[in-house]
Amino acid sequence: MADEHNMRRVTAIKNGTVIDHIPSGQALKVLELLSLSGDTSVPVSLVMNVPSKKMGSKDIIKVEDRELTQSELDRLALVAPDSSIAIIRAYSVAEKLNVNLGDEVRNVVRCTFSNCITQNPREPLAHRLRVTKTDPLTLRCHYCQRPQDLDELIHNLL
């Protein structure tokens, strides 16, 4: 009942993507990760801090007229690894997707260490962060091996 009520807080979308089970307070970061925060062409609805049976409280995002791709969604692993995603077509769920973290985050963010070789923006090789632990999420740069500060990392999106 709580979930149904939450979904009705904003209008149901005809086509697009719904990202549910985002940890409370992280929705704005998710928008940033998906490069939707500055995009004024796409209607986006945001619900924050609503009750959730599974999580206590959670955030929800609805993106209209845009089906996010798996590689776009994998970026969510940095702040909302357990979120559930539904692709909506003609008001019904056409596909369900999960965030897939894998063992490396490639070309999503730049290492946070100021003296890492990857700080030179002209160096052409991929930015690679290795997942060394998933709970809590721990990442290390493939090159300099420094552990990454997740709060800082969000500002280093490529």
Partner 1 sequence: MKGLITMDDLTNEDIHSILADAERLLPIARGEAYLPLLQGKILGNLFFEPSTRTRMSFETAMKRLGGDVVNLGDVKTSSVVKGETLFDTIQMVDGYTDIIAMRHPRQGAARYAQDAARVPILNGGDGAGHHPTQTMLDLFTIQQSHGTLEGLTVILAGDLRYGRTVHSLSHALVRFGCRLIFASPELLRMPAEIVEDLREHGADVTETEDLLGNINQADVVYMTRIQKERFADEDEYAKVAGAYKLHARDLDNAKSEMVILHPLPRVDEIHPSVDSTRHARYFEQAFNGVVARMALLCRLLNIEVPTEIAGGDA
DSSP assignment of 17-40, as one string?
EEEEEEETT-HHHHHHHTT-TT--
Selected range binding partner 1 among 2-10, 31-39, 90-98, 144-152, rule: CB under 8 A? 144-152
Q: Is 146 in the site for partner 1 (CB under 8 A)?
A: yes
Phi-psi region of 93 (alpha: psi -120 to 50; beta: other; left: phi over 0): beta
Instruction: Select 92 or 120, whichever has its Cβ closest to partner 1.
Output: 120
Residue 140 corresponds to which tokens in the numbers above?
A: 């290390």
Instruction: Select 2 or 125, whichever has its Cβ closest to partner 1.
Output: 125
CB 127 within 8 A of CB 106: yes
- Dihedral in degrees, nearest 10, Cα atoms 137, 107, 118, 111: -20
Q: Is 113 in the site for partner 1 (CB under 8 A)?
A: yes
By CB under 8 A, name the one of 4, 120, 135, 136 that touches partner 1.
Answer: 120
Q: Is 131 in the site for partner 1 (CB under 8 A)?
A: no
Q: In the complex, which residues of this chain contact partner 1 (CB under 8 A)?
A: 111, 113, 115-120, 122-125, 141-147
